[in-house]
Chain A
Amino acid sequence: MQKKLLIPFFSAGFPELNSTAQIILELHKLGSDYIEIGLPHSDALADGPIIQSASAVALENGLNIDILFEQVSSIREQIQTAKLILFTYYNPLLVYGLAKALQKWKQAGGMGLLVPDLPIEETKEILEICKKENIKLIFLIAPTSTPERIKRIAEISEEFLYLVSVTGVTGARSLVNESLKPIIEQIKQVKPSLKVVIGFGISNVETAKQALNQGADGVVIGSAFMKILQENGSKAACNLLNEIKEQI
């Protein structure tokens, strides 16, 4: 059986401003296939309560995109094989300058970008810059996505496609929506080589397995990781990931 992808998400600058680099190193060491690094935003429409409150702390800590780029840059030599994805809302990129932001992200060692409030209709400008910088733009598909949209999104996707398990914001849930199978099948029909990972609501081994049983190639774990990080520190949070990694 093919190895399944483990993709942790964490908010940069939390719990301390300088936690970012250490967490990336730990996530890389435990064998994460991709690492999603969240840039905290003041108005994060797709974030659930756990990530929202972590974002508020990170902003309070003084994190901004310049500091994040420096933090990632500083460990670049130690994590050359890590696949880092910047998870950010569109406005911070737009105001910073799309070209400048993506160039700096690439220089810092980033390989991917995920913008949760940028539907396919609005991606023309950023896709051109991504192409130029060789940064992969990761798209999301939702349970509400129509077959026509799934086809369009799958066609332009690279690396992997992020399937949101539920309508709603981020956050751990006890069950994973069981109706995702037909969506995954449709994606595979459009592009058999494209990996599909499920996120939003994966909180433990059980929900990870539920997701994979529906045909997903991997799981994204965000809020569950952040919750343990907040309560018991990064070691305990990484233990959850190790446990899931062993069992999938």
Chain B
Amino acid sequence: MNAVSQLKGRFGNYGGQYVPETLMPALNELEEVFSIAIKDENFKAEFYDLLQNYVGRPTPLYEAKRLTEHYKTGKILLKREDLNHTGAHKINNALGQALLAKKLGKKRIIAETGAGQHGVATATACALLGLDCTIFMGAKDIERQEPNVFRMKILGAKVQAVTNGAQTLKEATSSAIRDWVTNVQNTHYILGTASGPHPYPIMVREFQSVIGNEAKEQCLRKYNKLPDCVLACIGGGSNAIGIFQAFKEDAGVRLIGLEAGGLNENKHASTLTKGTPGILHGTLSYLIQDQYGRIPEVHSISAGMDYPGVGPEHSHLKDIGRAEYFSITDSEALAGCKLLARLEGIIPALESSHALAYLDKLMPQIKSDQIVIVNLSGRGDKDIPILKQYL
């Protein structure tokens, strides 16, 4: 485990476990069960069997020829996480953690969700494994990601509307943590991103690393070389860390994360490019905060990236210069979304559209023999209520 002390869950200075004492025994137990499970052949076989036969993995690494033609250089490959069952990468982690919950003997599951993708994935995993499921979702997100709310309910989950503060992902996460503090004895919290207190960042990374492992193998097999750049959008950072992980040791591969630039300099969720280190939801990482360490409302058109924090490993990768992070505005993301829809017949999630939008800036620097992989983390069906305003 490079760059992270397994014991303390640190990535450089970042990470840690800043939670009430009530949760510490549960985190310790989770760490122990997780560290045994990832070495257990039976657990791995069960997990990979589900990924293959239920989720539909491996997902294709699709060569987007018309999109490449548009930029007239290089080669653009899309890692099609949008083709996963439930429509995004979130299912990889939700299934892994739901299997762990069974090992922990916990029958009740809670989760937070922003875009609703993690909520749907968790509701799906709970239906499959017979677990009771409650999803916390901000009231604003319930409105803008309506299709996913119905999906969760059809799957048998309770959707708990969170009505305080900005009524988005931050508040949903806080409510989930408060529920966990209250019901920790019978409840497992399936945190949806590679953030939160240790062991969540390494656990979520582990369950999402299948993305990068597949992409690397697919790229090498078909093109006999590694990609030159790997792009991924970043809210909390789980799809990004999932694809970056396989390439972290390959110094020649540029790793680029794209954050929510929102509307302008004051209304955004660009945590890594505009934030400072601080603690939110149990972890020390870059954070959008004021001079007194209080966290204001942030903004993104994509509910999944409308979050003032980010996973601690991304903060470390930024500081050591291994990954680069840039900001993409709402309107740039919308343009990226439309471009892919028109050229390739794929409607990407607004989150993933941030990664696609960066191609406009990146491709002019790309040589004809270079390969760029974009992690297409999810599909855009859930964004129809928003997209219809911008047709």
Interface residues of A (CB under 8 A from B): 41-43, 45-46, 52, 56, 59, 64-65, 89-96, 116-122, 139-146, 149, 153, 164, 166-169
Contact A122/B164 with A41-B294, A144-B26 known, Cβ cut-off 8 Å: no
Q: Contacts of A45 on B, CB cut-off 8 Å?
A: 19-20, 174, 177-178, 181, 281-282
Query: B1-36 vs A: 1/0 string, CB under 8 Å?
Result: 000000010000000111111111110000000000
Q: Is B52 an interface residue (CB 8 A)?
A: no
Tell me the bound Cα distance from A52 to B21 in angstroms. Answer: 19
A-B contact pairs, 21 of them (CB 8 A): A41-B293, A42-B294, A43-B295, A45-B19, A52-B164, A64-B292, A91-B280, A92-B294, A93-B293, A94-B284, A96-B293, A118-B18, A121-B8, A121-B17, A140-B20, A143-B22, A144-B23, A144-B24, A145-B24, A149-B21, A168-B181
B21 close to A164 (CB less than 8 A) = yes
Contact A92/B292 with A121-B8, A168-B181 known, Cβ cut-off 8 Å: yes
B174 close to A144 (CB less than 8 A) = no
B182 close to A91 (CB less than 8 A) = no
A119 close to B17 (CB less than 8 A) = yes
Q: Is B183 an interface residue (CB 8 A)?
A: yes
A43 close to B21 (CB less than 8 A) = no
Q: Contacts of B281 on A, CB cut-off 8 Å?
A: 43, 45
Known: A56-B164, A91-B278; 14 extra A-B contacts, CB below 8 A, are A45-B282, A64-B292, A90-B279, A92-B293, A93-B293, A94-B284, A119-B24, A121-B24, A143-B22, A144-B22, A144-B24, A144-B185, A167-B181, A167-B182
Q: Contacts of B346 on A, CB cut-off 8 Å?
A: none
Q: Contacts of B20 on A, CB cut-off 8 Å?
A: 45-46, 116-117, 119, 140, 142, 164
Q: Contacts of B170 on A, CB cut-off 8 Å?
A: 43
Question: How many B residues, CB 8 Å from partner?
Answer: 38
B182 close to A59 (CB less than 8 A) = no
Interface centre among B182, B184, B292 (most CB of A within 10 A): B292
Tell me the bound Cα distance from A52 to B24 in angstroms. Answer: 23
Q: Is B300 an interface residue (CB 8 A)?
A: no
Tell me the bound Cα distance from A116 to B24 in angstroms. Answer: 12
CB distance from A92 to the nearest CB of B (A): 4
Q: Contacts of A140 on B, CB cut-off 8 Å?
A: 20-21
Tell me the bound Cα distance from A151 to B125 in angstroms. Answer: 39
B18 close to A122 (CB less than 8 A) = yes
Q: Is B264 an interface residue (CB 8 A)?
A: no
A169 close to B178 (CB less than 8 A) = yes
B294 close to A94 (CB less than 8 A) = no
Tell me the bound Cα distance from A149 to B292 in angstroms. Answer: 32
A59 close to B294 (CB less than 8 A) = yes
Tell me the bound Cα distance from A121 to B22 in angstroms. Answer: 13
CB distance from A167 to the nearest CB of B (A): 5
Contact A141/B21 with A43-B280, A95-B278, A122-B16 known, Cβ cut-off 8 Å: yes
Tell me the bound Cα distance from A95 to B275 in angstroms. Answer: 12
Minimal Cβ-Cβ distance residue in A for B308: A43
A65 close to B178 (CB less than 8 A) = no
CB distance from A223 to the nearest CB of B (A): 14
